[in-house]
Structure 1
Amino acid sequence: MSAWLALFSQSIPVIEPDQGQRPVDIVPVDYVSKCIIYSVPQLAHKKESLATIYHIPPLPTSITWYQAYTAIQDYWSRPNNALLLDQKLPTAKNYFSANKTLTKARFLIRYYFRPNAKNTVTTSKKLDIDQSKWLELASNIRNNLAKQHTHQWQYDTTHFQQLPLTKYIDKYCGLDEYNYFMQSCYGTKIYSLHGGVHVRAPTLDDTSTCALYSIDKSKTMAPDEENQYYPEVIDEPFPSIVYTEEEMKQRMKDMMDITIKSLHHLAQSLKEEKVWKPVWIEYINDTLEDWCTMIETLDTNSKNNLAKRWRLTGNTEMTKVAVLNDPNVIEAIQQVSKRSGMPAEKVMEEAIRSLNRIQERTQLPYAWFAASFLEKLLKNMFSCIRINKDDLAKIQKAIGETEKKIIYVPVSRTVLDPIIVWFIAIRYNLPIPVLLLDEALAILGPFSDILRLAGAVFIKRDPHGRSTLTTAVTSAYLRHLLRERGAVTMVLEKVRSRSGLYQKPFDDGMLSMIQDKENALFIPVNMTYEEVPDLANLVKHGLHHPKAGKNVSSLSRSRSYRMSTPTKVSRPSDSRAQRVRSRSLGHGQLHLLKLEEDRDKTHVHHYGKILIGFGNPISSDTGDLADKIQKEQKKSAVLSPVSLVAAILLYSRVQGNVIDLETVKKYLGYLYEFIRAQGIPIDWQDFEDSENIIFYSIRLLEKGSDAITIEEKNNHTAIRISIESDSILQLAYYANQLQEIFVLDSIFAVVYLSLGSKGNNDTNVTFFERFEFLATLFQYYFSANWNIKEEYNHLTEKYKQNDKDDINNNQYFNLLASFVYPTIDSFWVTLCALSALLDDVKALPYSLVPLLTQWIGMHLISGRRTIYSEVLSAEYSQNTLKSLFQFGLLDTQSAKMLLSPDAQMLMQVLGFSTNENLIVRQEQHDIRQVCKQIEQVRIKLEEGPSSSYVFEKCQNQIKSLIKTKDNTCFSKKQGATLVDAKEEAMIQLGYTLIQSMEPSLSHVSP
């Protein structure tokens, strides 16, 4: 059987095309073994006769070869399992066709014209496969099966059925044979094809379902159940009346490659717009035209089914009338007219233009094309979209029992979140939402085109960038959409993180725009990505955050970076004769050749799994709506083992950036049991081996980089991580998803380790004081609300049984403490940067502090005062500042009220806005004292007072930045005279930092 499955992996089906409806005559080995073992005591042996031989019967729920083939094809077609790049098994529907001769011919053509062996790869190196041996094996098996299947054998199992074996084999009666065949393929890949220990089991447990692939199983095994509302047009191959099936497959592959590149490498994609744009426009116009034709040719029943699922407004005049007659819009028009003196008719025309800019424009064929393309794109990118069945049933029940409008609120991990929720709504018969997106997502190249076709509405989320009239029009239109369509999808503003931590929602007015207190239900959605597609860009922006002197962003909205399609999506060209014009486009041909070269260099584009959780629905009549939505998003999180492995690898920094495999397995087991004890769901099935989990996670974490290397010496496996800041922050992104789960235990461990092994009454008092201090800081950091005394007592009771001399317990405390040590050092470095407020400057611009913190952090890392590159991240610094504000250490004042006019002018020259608040220190708190308290709990990397005088040294370094001579003083070069020396020090500090950190980005001239 392993040989059969191995042949399937090489796109060589061994089952005859006319055997599809014949039952599978294969049984599990352990089923046969138990039947033999438990039947032995029942045998009656006689000396004069031979023992009776009983035929082993098939399983009671035996499936057909059509169903078994579908399971096998399902496994080998997934991007993370396929061994061949461009060659995949035909679908069961195509293979088991009525014309047996035609199917055989197709098989021979597919085999002999398959890609070269150079395209056959594993995850680490090329497989050296002897094609002639595969062909010989395939021929022998097919010939043997042809003889065996000449007649349909009937086995007499009467005697076997009479044996009392029911209690031993009952569990096989309910065996999921679809999953059994998928697991068999998994075993073949691991053991027969040497797939490696990084491959995880493809099946899910009984509590979960996959939004991407479960439809294949349901259509095959239970065709009349859950797929009755799933349109067949979505998972069917793309139609065409001009191009062949193979040409369409190639076109779709090119379109998906272009889209994925725009998600993964946006800046590079925008630079190469002239290269890919002709190809993209050509392909998408042709495909949309084919879809329009295909939808028009459907029978009336199919058209009605599609129309029922999608309620497009269609009538723009009715929409215009509804919006312009909204009371808020009328009031805004009158207000603007009165304030500006413009006639109300002119203001109304501007309101109509605002409506036209944001109005949804799509058609039914376009929307279903977007759904079909998205399904194929997601299957090409992800191995699974895992959803808990109970969560799904809870949401379906809540929606079914209410007449309220539905508002889905995904967590905003990536730009894919809203449209994945949109796809899930289609997949599971939920109300299909309108996508309410920030206008920044309108410049993402091909991906933005797909969003438009899906019916996205791009609006300005920044309240400071919206006029009163625009806000009123946007609010009226969104409420109109909610009434007409019944559901929308939106994300909370400014919650997307570059560090993996949850960010506090910003009130941009969106919730109040669409909120109907009597008729809205919010559905919080959490998404955990095993690999974030654009994480490298997020980390880069976190390290190289926009400086004050930079006024032109590489991703700024410009004419050359506009979308490849106009704002209004129109019907494609009617001229089918021009479809071959891309053959003559030089740029397009160069792009296609480049895609082919890229395919030779790389293999798998998939990004692992997406783990989705649904929070409890929230009614719109509750207070603090944004905070409650985010709280439910946190509760519904499903953890990935990738985060656990990333956290353990980061812990290795205290051991020279290397850790052995056995230690990783031990720590992984500890963290897994910790999470299970708290009842938090994690994507780890009981039968999965920890070593597979580790190597699977490492494969995702190190993909495309040298962040992690595996060293093997004398049967000893060690894992080493890179100390590059980019690599560390990418690992930290995944590890930080665990912080809020472990934070209190981690703080307890930090305080315990800071006090050493002494135990007396004075130490107990100090223990609580330090715990309370850190818990207060982190409470503000995570926007939490803890009863610190109760939490302390709970943790003391929890760990009091631990033997303080137990080495393992100390190791686990070190591991737990490593979760928050980087954040503690971020507080420490930020406080060192704020030392400038003591004597040198009276205030600091808010956006200058992360830059100053980064400068201080670079010096402390180079001086080996800290090992944590996280202190260089702008987001860590910003989160720390927010905590220090709430702690009462800092305050803000208006720049226009605090600074002189000349100082304000110089701030603007440097690129700082005078509308920005300035940071000042609170007189009743001492920055130096808080820094000293932080130093007491920092990790001790060496003996002695290693952190002594660091605060003072940082002060001196900042003073060196401020010191000027007549020929280097920025204010004098600008012809300004500042009377206040502290004002001049602040301006000079900003100028020197901008010049020293990244001079090439500065537009400031001396």
Structure 2
Amino acid sequence: MDNSGREPDGWEIFRDILEERRKSSDLSHALRTFNPQPYRGGPPCSTSALNRTVLESQYLRYVIQQVSAESGELQEVIKEEAAGMLEEMAQNIQMGFIRFLAFILSKVFKRLFRRIHINEEGLQRVQQAIQECPVVLMPNHRSYMDFLVLSYTFFTYNLNIPVIAAGIPLMGMKVFGEIFRRLYWAVLSEYVKAIVRTGYAPIEFYVEGLRSRTLKSLTPKLGMMQMVLEPFFKGEVYDIALVPVSVSYERLLEESLLAHELLGVPKPKETTMGLLKARKVLEEDYGTMHICFGHPISVRELAKGKINRGEYNLVPRDLPMKLSEGSQAFVNATAHTVVRLQEANMVLSSWSLMATILMQNLGGIDCDSLTQQTQWLRRLALDFGAHLDWPEQLSCSEVLSLNLSLHRSVVRCEEGRVLLAEEEPQGSGGPEDTVLRLAVIALMCASYRNQTLHVFVRPALLALSMHAAATSRRDEIFNYFRFLQGVFSIEFIFIPGRAVEDFEEACSLLRKCGAIQIIDQDVTMTEVGHATTSFLRAILEPYIEAYQIVFRYLTEENVLVFTERDFVPAVRSYAVKLILSGALTSYDVLSSDTQKNVLAALLRLDAATKTRRAEQTDFRVNKAAINRIGDVLAGRIPPQTASYSRL
């Protein structure tokens, strides 16, 4: 097995699945015997039988009757529409096509990647779980390649190909509207639940909902999560295994595309084959990819003492039922827990550490200084529990050289200094176009920095809280910590109701690396801790600055009521002017995702409201509330007092 120089931290051992493909026939691999072990909890179920079960279910009949009554259409017409929706989402893929795809993907992956590392022990755990209960694979979503690589991996290891549960663009349907959207979601819901009930195949879905354009984890979407858990709530299955899957890329195929999207460039139609057909893509080197299958989570064990399944006996199983507040909280906490486990099993590349340092030195940095700081950051990341892909046989300067070559689209080296690359200008443009060209590269680099943020965010929040509170009192520092978590709860992943545990984790990590000491009720900096805490604060500084810029725009400009469509380009234009004037040096605020996250945070903090009307949503802000949040964020006034029961 190939450990690829991974840190000897006693963690999972990875195997390169492309190694054998480079030595033996791709055709024989595609044509080999494929006989996966079935689910033992019920008889095998064909695709046609599964679809028939969905269309004939009492629940779907109930929804069809409702839609027919509200739309005036005959039930037969509505049922045909439902059958068309099901045919589009159901995956009746023939074995011949799977083998053809396996042959093609073997060729493609060997062109794109040096290595694809899989933790085989994790796959063995998945294989065992598939035989015992319904399995739900929950990968993070960073690239169009994610589902292809996972399906290819399951074929390679003789496991049932997962069914990908995902919505389709509703606007592309012949008939659409609120009524038929409800029909679509009813069909999707019943399809997903039927797969869970029968153990037809593992289900794969992205709990983040969308592909992350910033390479940070997204706040989980709960609709699909509720669908897969409902059969357990209603006692239709004994247990469900949730498997967090962490997909890590050393270099992303869509790195430039994503940065342009964040700056408002319309994205092309999302097709994986369209991406692969691009000749330039196939000529590039995308380094190493890691896929880590986490330990299966038993929903039954997770729900003990939290869910009363008896309440679902009061309504027939086939009819829709709104989840209780307790069940909704359980779904939310479970989804956040899965995303945190995805983050915990991510494998960071040496380049991600270098990108983190580069984003604090946008004007460039000496090669020697970058090498030394990367070594220091590597030790800190390991202290904080990160998993690193670091070639032990190479010196740090050699690692830097490799990264400069692999990521030449982002960085360049001139006269002993590492600088951000420059995008070629498209014709003659003004100063604003120059800023946006620089921003493309900066956001590309930021996306690789973002891969590390889950490791540093809690200690960074503590470092920022200690600095802002200007006191050593533990309770006052916690107040700032909790406030910052509230502000950035859309930006980073925090499990609801665990602020105290997150604070204690941050204290433990900073104490472990020698940056702080805790005596009684006082948290103080050590003599050697200033460099660490300053660096951690600098990691969050672009986000602090971005949020403050949006706050300024909303309070200083004549902004009363606006739509998101108007808000994003207006903030971008406002920020570009600040960059041109020299008042702003960070490019993170130009990201549409960051701008939308600020707006979502203000809604959550009751500093903004939204009203839906016709085809758009209007937002209205409370300027006094925004000013107060900005003042607390800047450390000018303290946050409201919170209780810290474990002090």
Task: Tell me the TM-score normalised to structure 2 length.
Answer: 0.75
Query: What is the 5 A alignment of 1:816-835?
Result: 816-835=536-555
Match of 2:573 among 855, 861, 866: 855
Name the structure 2 match of 1:497: 212
Q: What is the match of residue 720 of structure 1?
A: 419
* C-alpha deviation, 1:431, in angstroms: 2.9
Contact between 1:208 and 1:386, CA under 8 Å: does it hold in 2? no
> Are 1:931 and 2:630 an aligned pair?
yes
Q: Which residue of 1 aligns with 2:364?
A: 658
Supply the distance in 2 between the matched residues of 1:520 and 1:763 (Cα, whole angstroms). 45
Q: Which residue of 1 aligns with 2:412?
A: 709
1:212 lines up with 2:17 in the alignment: yes
Instruction: Give the structure with the higher percent strand.
Output: 2
Structure 2 contact 609–621 (Cα < 8 Å) conserved:
yes
Rounded Cα–Cα distance in structure 2 between residues aligned with 1:505 and 1:793: 26
Whether the 8 Å contact between 1:641 and 1:684 is mirrored in structure 2 is yes
2:456 maps to which residue? 742
RMSD over aligned CA atoms reads 4.3
| AA in 2 matched with 1:413 | R
Residues 404 and 521, structure 1, Cα contact 8 Å, conserved in 2: yes
1:610-669 superposed Cα distances (whole Å, 9 cap, x missing partner): 11222231234543242232222122222221110111111213xxx1211221122111
Q: What is the aligned partner in structure 2 of residue 781 from structure 1?
A: 491
Max Rg structure: 1
CA 1:388–1:674: 2 relative to 1, 3 Å: farther
Q: Secondary structure at the match of 1:820?
A: helix
SS for the counterpart of 2:499 is: coil
The one-letter amino acid of 2:456's match is F
Q: Secondary structure at the match of 2:388?
A: coil
Distance 2:256 2:104 in 1: 25
Is the contact made by 1:413 and 1:497 (CA closer than 8 Å) also made in structure 2?
A: yes
1:921 aligns with 2:600: no
Q: Which residue of 1 aligns with 2:345?
A: 636
Aligned residues of 1:205 and 1:685 also touching (Cα < 8 A): no
One of 147, 158, 174 as aligned partner of 1:429? 158
SS in 2 for 1:663: helix
Alignment partners' CA distance in 2, 1:404 and 1:521: 7
Q: Does the alignment pair 1:415 with 2:144?
A: yes
2:399 to 693, 705, 724: 693
Which one scores higher on RCO, CA 8 angstroms, separation ≥ 6?
2
**Cα distance change, pair 317–210 in 1 and its aligned pair in 2 (3 A):** closer
Structure 1 position 439, deviation (Å): 3.1
User: Which residues of 2 match residues 546-945 of structure 1 at below 5 A?
Assistant: 555=269, 604-621=283-300, 622=303, 623-624=330-331, 625-653=334-362, 657-703=363-409, 707-712=410-415, 717-722=416-421, 724-750=438-464, 773-779=483-489, 781-784=491-494, 785-787=498-500, 790=504, 794=508, 798-800=514-516, 810-836=530-556, 840-888=558-606, 890-894=607-611, 896=613, 914-921=615-622, 925-935=624-634
Q: Whole-Å Cα distance in 1 between the matches of residues 140 and 340 of structure 2?
A: 11
Tell me how far apart the structure 1 counterparts of residues 479 and 64 of structure 2 sit (CA, whole Å): 58
* 3-state SS in 2 of match to 1:916: strand
CA distance, structure 2, for counterparts of residue 201 and residue 529 of structure 1: 17
Q: 1:361 to 1:814 in 2, by over 3 A?
A: same
Q: For residues 351 and 208 of structure 1, do their structure 2 counterparts lie closer, same or farther at Cα, with a shift above 3 Å needed?
A: same
Of 337, 340, 343 in structure 1, the residue corresponding to residue 68 of structure 2 is 337
CA contact (8 A) 1:779 1:786 kept: no
Aligned-partner residue type, residue 13 of structure 2: S
CA-to-aligned-CA distance 1:809-839 (integer Å, 9 cap, x gap): 65544432221111011111110111158xx
- 3-state SS of the aligned residue for 1:651? coil
Residues 845 and 916, structure 1, Cα contact 8 Å, conserved in 2: yes
* Cα 1:205/1:329, change in 2 over 3 Å: same
Partner deviation per Cα, 1:743-793 (whole Å, 9 max, x = no partner): 2333444466779xxx9x699998777656545433563242422764676
Name the SS for the 1:682 alignment partner.
Answer: strand
Supply the AA of the counterpart residue of 1:894. T
Alignment of 1:364-443 (within 5 A): 364-399=95-130, 402-439=131-168
Over 3 Å counting, the alpha-carbon distance change for 1:466 and 1:520 in structure 2 is farther
TM-aligned CA distance change 1:800 to 1:331, over 3 Å: closer
Aligned partner of residue 260 in structure 2, secondary structure: helix
* Structure 1: runs of 5+ lacking an equivalent: 1-175, 184-199, 221-231, 239-294, 296-301, 444-458, 547-552, 565-591, 897-912, 938-1006
Task: Name the CA shift for 1:442/1:382 in 2 (closer, same or farther; >3 Å).
Answer: farther
Question: How far is 1:234 from its partner?
Answer: 4.7
Amino acid at match of 2:515: Y
Give 2:231's match in structure 1, choosing from 516, 529, 533. 516
Shift of 1:525: 0.3
> Deviations 1:433-484 (Å, cap 9, x if unpaired)?
12334436999xxxxxxxxxxxxxxx99x99695333333333344445537
The residue number in structure 2 matching 1:471 is 185
| Closer, same or farther: CA 612–670 of 1 in aligned 2, 3 Å | same
- Structure-2 separation of matches of 1:348 and 1:860: 56
Contact kept in structure 2, 1:892 and 1:918, CA below 8 Å: yes
1:530 pairs, out of 243, 247, 250, with 250
Q: How many residues are paired up?
A: 567
Q: Contact (CA 8 Å) 2:225, 2:335: kept in 1 or not?
A: no
Equivalent in the alignment of 1:941: none
Segments of structure 2 that go 5 or more residues without pairing to the other structure are 304-329, 423-437, 518-522, 637-647
Q: Following TM superposition, by how much is the alpha carbon of 1:935 offset from its aligned partner in structure 2, in angstroms?
A: 4.3
Q: How far is the alpha carbon of 1:530 from its aligned partner? A: 0.6
Q: SS at the partner of 1:524?
A: strand
Report the CA distance shift for 1:636/1:441 in structure 2 as closer, same or farther (over 3 A). farther
Deviation for aligned residue 1:933: 4.0
Percent pairwise identity: 22
Question: Structure 1 residues 604 and 309, CA, compared in 2 at 3 Å: closer, same or farther?
Answer: farther
Q: TM-score, normalised by structure 1?
A: 0.50
* C-alpha separation in 2, matches of 1:626 and 1:463: 29
CA shift, 1:383, in A, is 1.0
- Alpha-carbon distance in structure 1 between the residues aligned to 2:597 and 2:242: 27
Following superposition, the deviation at residue 892 of structure 1 comes to: 1.2
Call closer, same or farther: CA 1:662–1:814 in 2, change over 3 Å. Answer: farther
Alignment of 1:263-302 (within 5 A): none
Provide closer, same or farther for how the CA distance between residues 695 and 752 of structure 1 changes in structure 2, counting only shifts above 3 A.
farther
Tell me the distance in 2 between the aligned counterparts of 1:479 and 1:934: 44
Structure-2 separation of matches of 1:347 and 1:235:
45
Output the CA distance in 2 between the equivalents of 1:628 and 1:740: 13
> Corresponding residue for 1:306?
34
Q: Give, in angstroms, the shift of residue 862 of structure 1.
A: 1.3
Secondary structure at 2:348's aligned position in 1? Answer: coil
Looking at structure 1, the residues matched to 183 and 479 of structure 2 have their Cα atoms a distance apart, in angstroms, of 53
Aligned residues of 2:140 and 2:208 also touching (Cα < 8 A): no
Does the CA-based 8 Å contact 1:648-1:815 persist in structure 2? no
Of 507, 519, 536, the match for 2:222: 507
| Distance (whole Å) between structure 2 residues aligned to residue 791 and residue 202 of structure 1 | 25
Amino acid at match of 1:843: V
